[in-house]
A and B are shown apart, each in its own frame.
Chain A
């Protein structure tokens, strides 16, 4: 810093940093909004950007286009946005809570747990007491159980060891993956198809019903995480240190597990397991904006949504066939995972 000497200098510094952060967040929100409208034009049925606005404002009459736009594309893209936001913010919260740059819902096996819960509901009607929320409800419950289990396995009185954490996640992921495969052997063909859909991760079946199902748990989860940004800052520098500065670590831990389970559960319930988004997005924004969660969390909400929109659009229109988006994020994400592992070796094993 070019010389902070007086309190006034520091006030100026703080204001400058605040302004930069606000600009970055606003830019990400604007980017998401612009991208949303652009991606509305992409698909088999051609609708120009002008027509998109025309139809939305009621000045253009085209029944087919209106149907495609309002009942197919808008809900699908909204689903992509909220799922992207949910996975990114959950990934961020996990990375900070576990003090581990490799943590994310899919790496820690949490998405697999949720997919198993959702499959249980689909195949055997488990969780019917939850009414129309049976699938996201079961996804949530299994998210919570898996995350709690991974945490308990990896946690010792000396903190969470990175290697144990990742291994615990792999083990839980494999376990629930195995159970889901087992179920695939046992069920009827039509149920099998929907379970396979779930394990691959896709927005192809997402309409308004899906959106309405997922928005509540996801919004609640993100809200909890947004309200905990200060605590996340503190806990990302160590549980003991956070506790020394007055954070109720136990309560925060439970709140974050609940919040991430709500978000991931809601996401998995409508789109299945979409891997690596929760790993990649927080990293990209941490590189851009630094580790302060007051900035990172909103960036992950907007940027995560934008990332998922982009991925989904590429998956559905860039190739001869419509790919499930989960396949694409895995193809992009696995190399990224390796990059993080090599570039951030010191943090990971340190």
Chain B
């Protein structure tokens, strides 16, 4: 297994957010992580990426624990595209993607030429070559998201963590972006974890899905076995029809708020998000 997470626990100032998270993901797999606001999805990514230190448990890549690994070594293996991409200073797209080469600078076997090649490939694969010299802050939301993914690809990671990659994109760009991600995983063998609120897209594009609830993994498995009306009702208090479309695959239709949950406050949210 490429990525293994074992018994991972994390608390924010004494308040447990994640408890006993154990799962693994193989080469080229796309795993969707869904769950209500504040259920610890982003926190889980941050722990895998060693941005936060878990209180116990660990994440391993190829059997090597991330804990105690120098930051730059982590960044060579894991790239994390965060939700917010607020930009104070107007770097060009080229300079921005080049930043992704930081973990490799001065590393044996790396060179300016290799940096340039990696940046070129990353920009070509994400389709941002056209605006290489435009300032990032002048791009549209969808373009900027692709630039951030290009920067992550320039790190030449083995694992790619995406936090809400389709947020604020129009429906057509959402599909484009998910196709891009699935293609990258398949072609380059990158293991991708996607945190998303979009159940429809997760059902369509992720090979496996994990539902987080009550600080732990409520369900994990192949998408068709997890994307079931019962599971969605339990996790989100919604009524959803799940069917299979011959052309596109799994299709989730969210019908409405589950009536049986009434009187019972939906939630279990625990801050953050």
B140: A residues at CB distance < 8 A: none
Q: Report yes or no: A10 in contact with B120, Cβ–Cβ below 8 A.
A: yes
Evaluate whether A244 and B51 lie within 8 angstroms (CB atoms) in the complex, with A4-B129, A4-B130, A233-B95 already known: yes
Residue-by-residue, is A206-240 near B (CB-CB < 8 Å gives 1, otherwise 0)?
Answer: 00000000000000000000000011011011101
Interface size class of B (residues with CB under 8 A): 35 or more
On chain A, the number of residues with a Cβ less than 8 Å from chain B's Cβ atoms is: 35
Evaluate whether A246 and B120 lie within 8 angstroms (CB atoms) in the complex, with A236-B89, A237-B88 already known: no
Q: Let me know if A334 is at the binding interface, CB within 8 A.
A: no
Q: Let me know if B49 is at the binding interface, CB within 8 A.
A: yes
Q: With A and B bound together, what is the CA distance between A100 and B89 in angstroms?
A: 9
Q: Report yes or no: B91 in contact with A5, Cβ–Cβ below 8 A.
A: no
A100: B residues at CB distance < 8 A: 88
Contact residues of B between 73 and 123, Cβ < 8 Å to A: 73-76, 79-80, 82, 84, 86-92, 94-96, 99-100, 102-103, 105, 116-117, 119-120, 123
Q: Report yes or no: B132 in contact with A234, Cβ–Cβ below 8 A.
A: no
Evaluate whether A7 and B117 lie within 8 angstroms (CB atoms) in the complex, with A230-B102, A245-B75 already known: yes
Which of A10, A236, A240, A246 sits near B103, CB closer than 8 Å? A246
Q: Report yes or no: B133 in contact with A234, Cβ–Cβ below 8 A.
A: no
Closest-by-CB residue of B relative to A231 is B102
Q: Report yes or no: B92 in contact with A14, Cβ–Cβ below 8 A.
A: no
Evaluate whether A246 and B99 lie within 8 angstroms (CB atoms) in the complex, with A4-B132, A286-B89, A291-B91 already known: no
Of B73, B76, B94, B119, chain A has the most CB atoms within 10 Å of the CB of: B94
A243: B residues at CB distance < 8 A: 51, 71
Closest-by-CB residue of A relative to B80 is A244
Which of A5, A11, A99 sits near B116, CB closer than 8 Å? A11
Q: Report yes or no: B119 in contact with A244, Cβ–Cβ below 8 A.
A: no
Closest-by-CB residue of A relative to B161 is A244
Q: Report yes or no: A1 in contact with B130, Cβ–Cβ below 8 A.
A: yes
Q: With A and B bound together, what is the CA distance between A241 and B116 in angstroms?
A: 21
Evaluate whether A10 and B88 lie within 8 angstroms (CB atoms) in the complex, with A4-B132, A241-B82 already known: no
Q: Report yes or no: B91 in contact with A292, Cβ–Cβ below 8 A.
A: yes
- The minimal Cβ–Cβ distance linking A247 to chain B, given in whole angstroms, is 7
Q: Report yes or no: A7 in contact with B116, Cβ–Cβ below 8 A.
A: yes
Q: With A and B bound together, what is the CA distance between A290 and B136 in angstroms?
A: 12
Q: Report yes or no: A246 in contact with B75, Cβ–Cβ below 8 A.
A: yes
Contact residues of A between 223 and 279, Cβ < 8 Å to B: 230-231, 233-234, 236-238, 240-241, 243-248
